[in-house]
Amino acid sequence: MNLRALAVLSARAWAWLRAVSGDDAYEAYVAGLAPPGAAPTRQEFYLDRLRRQYSRINRCC
């Protein structure tokens, strides 16, 4: 495996980790939001996300 392929693989793994953990949720939300400029702050978005996530069953036995 050459360095370029390794770099691509690492970037993909990092992107996957960010997506799975929710680390990139704000950027993804802002990028998909229309019209631009209507986005909440990062902190507001984070708190709203937590409120939604933990008001329903999200962990199993």
Q: Which of 7, 8, 11, 53 binds other proteins (CB under 8 A)?
A: 53
* Neighbouring C-alpha atoms within 13 Å toward the C-beta of 44: 6
Instruction: Give first-to-last CA distance, the chain, whole Å.
Output: 40
Q: Does 9 bind other proteins (CB under 8 A)?
A: no
Q: Does 52 bind other proteins (CB under 8 A)?
A: yes
Q: Does 20 bind other proteins (CB under 8 A)?
A: yes
Quick one: 3 or 61, whose CB is closer to other proteins? 61
What's the rounded Cα separation, in Å, for the pair 1 and 12? 15
Q: Does 33 bind other proteins (CB under 8 A)?
A: yes
Structure tokens at 7: 């770099």
